[in-house]
Amino acid sequence: MHYLTKIASPETLTTQCLILGVFDGKQHGSSIDRLPATPKKHIQATLKKGDLGGKAAQSLLLYGVPGLKAERVLLMDLGEQKSFDAKKLASAMGGAIALLNKNAVRDCALMVPEESADMLYAAGRDIAISSEEQLYLFDQCKSKKNRPKKPLGKLTLVVKERKQLNTLKKALKHGTAIAAGMNLAKDLANLPGNICTPSYLADTAKRLGRKSTKLKATALTEKQMQRLGMGALLSVSRGSREPAKLIVLEYRGGKENSRPVVLVGKGLTFDAGGISIKPSAGMDEMKYDMCGGASVFGTLQACVDLDLPINVIGIVPSSENLPDGEANKPGDIVTSMAGLTIEILNTDAEGRLILCDALTYAERFRPAAVIDIATLTGACVVALGHHTTGLLGNDDKLADELLKAGDDIHDPAWRLPMNDDYRKQLESNFADMANIGGKGAGTITAACFLGEFTKKYKWAHLDIAGTAWKGGHEKGATGRPVPLLTQLLLKRCKLAE
Ligand code: BES
Ligand code: MN
Ligand code: ZN
């Protein structure tokens, strides 16, 4: 969708639909107050009937409102004025956009409520993100596309003062880049495992690399990984006919000598569990086990779109995890690139096996910080559900930075503890460590495993097992945590306001 900004009074706007925010379902709010007497009276009389707000309708679509050039008016309930914020405005707008997109409305205009004047950046950004979320459609694999005949293609944000235009333009640019990154992540994740293979991801990375001279994409082959000694990663892909890839995206937008932020994303394109096979119910959802990698792609694409002045490296170890005569067996011992030996007590704890070698590989980029993103543990879904990402790591400042970025952009994370007591759960009688930590604290012991490979730099781990996709009738990828990661980078560039 196209986003425009404008200064105008509501009665002069020629649009197919003028969107006005209303507080408490009643007649007030700046958008109503700014109307000339004739349309104002009409709208107030309509609102008096009480159909809008509270448990009633979230929006009302009016036709033929006198004294306006707009063909329609959408009255959008913004809830209580005292608890109003950018998130509420954006989610109400999401609802409005979804409704108008279904109708024959191609262009609309929002009178940005003056109540959002002191949060205009967040409001503009969040409106773009939530509008794009509503317009997102994944029908690549359907032979009959069921798209709206007259899709919504234009939203104009109308403000009062000239100086607000610049803030809003910047906010919309950031919001649309983040949304496009989320859409890329969603598309990759929603694709099935037979299409989105490690090679498909590697090709996608190369396609991204062609978008900008600042972005370079490469993919290591199994042979190259072998030479590097990536015995843990390769042990997972040995049970699959699809060759593993170690995908590397290098975005150089910052000073040549400035240390990069390295993002490492789990790119397991299908996780059947291997010999420790998963139950069959719901196993299709394990095509989403590459959502960490997809979020790295999405974030790097946003870096390109925003031309961020920072260096960012994306590393995506990618493989399948299947049962096979050559697959890992419980009790097998493999040697990681770092030299640590690992006893594989459960072949379904494969994410950490591919990540540990990628995390060792990350050392060569002299990282300012390394953040890994992975659908790592079912235990994280038990602990935090589908709302909050699990955060662990070895650096308090980096962890706080991530928490703050997540809160800013409504993509929240919550930190869990890590210490020696948990690490000891990984002790093995036969190797340097086991790949599982036994009963209790599955998310923490998984992070402790990764922590053995991240001692040389500042590191944080995001467990997105609960937040990367939704199940049930809403089944689909969420694009998280692209917002969180992009916000962190924007803030490092001092651009997020
Ligand atoms: N990809 C899964 C984690 C997962 C499970 C994500 C359910 C989302 C929903 C991961 O590879 C896995 O299988 N983890 C095991 C670890 C266990 C064997 C220690 C798990 O969580 O059951
Ligand atoms: Mn698994
Ligand atoms: Zn997995």
Tell me, letter by letter, the H, E, C secondary structure of 440-466. Answer: CCHHHHHHHHHHCCCCCCCEEEEECCC
Provide φ and ψ at 475, rounded to 5°: -50, 130
Q: How far apart are CA 67 and CA 286, in angstroms?
A: 55
Both ends of the chain: CA-CA distance in Å?
A: 23
Provide φ and ψ at 464, rounded to 5°: -105, 20
**Tokens 């589908």 appear where?**
386
Surface-to-core class of residue 95, CB atoms within 10 Å of its CB (0-12 exposed, 13-18 middle, 19+ buried):
middle
Smallest CA separation from ligand 1 atom 17, residue:
349
C-alpha pair distances (Å), 145 with each of 100, 102, 137, 191, 412: 19, 15, 10, 16, 34
Residue 168's pLDDT is 97
* Residue 302 Cα to ligand 1 middle (Å): 29
Q: Is 77 annotated as a binding residue?
A: no
Nearest to 394 by CA among 367, 424, 417: 417
Surface-to-core class of residue 339, CB atoms within 10 Å of its CB (0-12 exposed, 13-18 middle, 19+ buried):
exposed
Provide φ and ψ at 84, rounded to 5°: -65, 135
* Residue 272 Cα to ligand 1 middle (Å): 10
The reported pTM is 0.98
Work out whether strand 311-321 and strand 245-252 pair parallel, antiparallel, or are unpaired. Answer: antiparallel
Q: Is 348 annotated as a binding residue?
A: yes
Residue 25's pLDDT is 77
Instruction: Answer yes or no: is the C-beta of 277 below 6 A from any ligand 1 atom.
Output: no
DSSP string, 336-363: -TTS-EEEES-TT--HHHHHHHHHHHHG
* Residue 147 Cα to ligand 3 middle (Å): 34
Instruction: Answer yes or no: is the C-beta of 384 below 6 A from any ligand 1 atom.
Output: no
Instruction: Answer yes or no: is the C-beta of 244 below 6 A from any ligand 1 atom.
Output: no
278 labelled catalytic: yes
Of the residues 186, 287, 352, 480, only one is catalytic, namely: 352
Give the CB-side neighbour count of residue 371, counting CA atoms within 13 A: 30
* Residue 191 Cα to ligand 3 middle (Å): 16
- What angle, rounded to 10 degrees, do the helices at 291-306 and 198-209 form? 10
C-alpha pair distances (Å), 458 with each of 336, 368, 455: 20, 7, 8
* Residue 287 Cα to ligand 3 middle (Å): 9
Instruction: Answer yes or no: is the C-beta of 90 below 6 A from any ligand 1 atom.
Output: no
Other C-beta atoms within 10 Å of 119: how many?
16
Q: How far apart are CA 228 and CA 362, in angstroms?
A: 13
Instruction: Answer yes or no: is the C-beta of 232 below 6 A from any ligand 1 atom.
Output: no
Q: Which structure tokens are listed for 257? A: 């000598």
Q: Is 87 annotated as a binding residue?
A: no
Instruction: Answer yes or no: is the C-beta of 381 below 6 A from any ligand 1 atom.
Output: yes
Could you give the domains of the chain? 2-160 (3.40.220.10), 180-492 (3.40.630.10)
Q: How far apart are CA 373 and CA 391, in angstroms?
A: 10
Q: What angle do CA 393, 304, 117 make, to 5 degrees?
A: 80
Q: Is 350 annotated as a binding residue?
A: yes
Q: Which structure tokens are listed for 329? A: 């067996």
Residue 26's pLDDT is 74
C-alpha dihedral (230, 232, 238, 241), degrees to nearest 10: -70
Instruction: Answer yes or no: is the C-beta of 434 below 6 A from any ligand 1 atom.
Output: no
Q: Is 343 annotated as a binding residue?
A: no
Of the residues 216, 278, 329, 415, only one is catalytic, namely: 278
Q: Which ligand is nearest to the CA of 443?
A: 1
* Residue 484 Cα to ligand 1 middle (Å): 23
C-alpha pair distances (Å), 163 with each of 113, 120, 169: 15, 11, 11
Instruction: Answer yes or no: is the C-beta of 295 below 6 A from any ligand 1 atom.
Output: no
C-alpha pair distances (Å), 357 with each of 42, 143, 335, 377, 401: 66, 40, 10, 18, 26
Helix (H) or strand (E) holding 415: strand 413-415
Ligand 1 pocket: which of 377, 475, 478 to mutate (most atoms within 8 A of CB): 377
Q: How far apart are CA 76 and CA 420, in angstroms?
A: 53
210 labelled catalytic: no
Q: Answer yes or no: are the C-beta atoms of 209 and 197 closer than 8 Å.
A: no
Nearest to 189 by CA among 264, 245, 130, 267: 267
C-alpha pair distances (Å), 226 with each of 63, 206, 464: 67, 22, 29
**Tokens 């929603």 appear where?**
190
Instruction: Answer yes or no: is the C-beta of 483 below 6 A from any ligand 1 atom.
Output: no
Q: How far apart are CA 408 and CA 109, in angstroms?
A: 26
* Nearest ligand 1 atom, CA 445: 19
Split the chain (497 residues) into runs of 10 and give each run's mean pLDDT: 97 97 82 94 94 88 98 96 95 97 97 95 98 98 94 96 96 98 98 98 98 97 98 99 99 98 99 98 98 99 98 99 98 99 99 99 99 99 98 99 98 98 98 97 99 99 98 95 99 96
C-alpha pair distances (Å), 277 with each of 245, 273, 281: 23, 4, 12
Other C-beta atoms within 10 Å of 131: how many?
25
Ligand 1 pocket: which of 269, 348, 435, 448 to mutate (most atoms within 8 A of CB): 348
Residue 24's pLDDT is 84
* Nearest ligand 1 atom, CA 380: 21
Nearest to 379 by CA among 450, 465, 293: 465
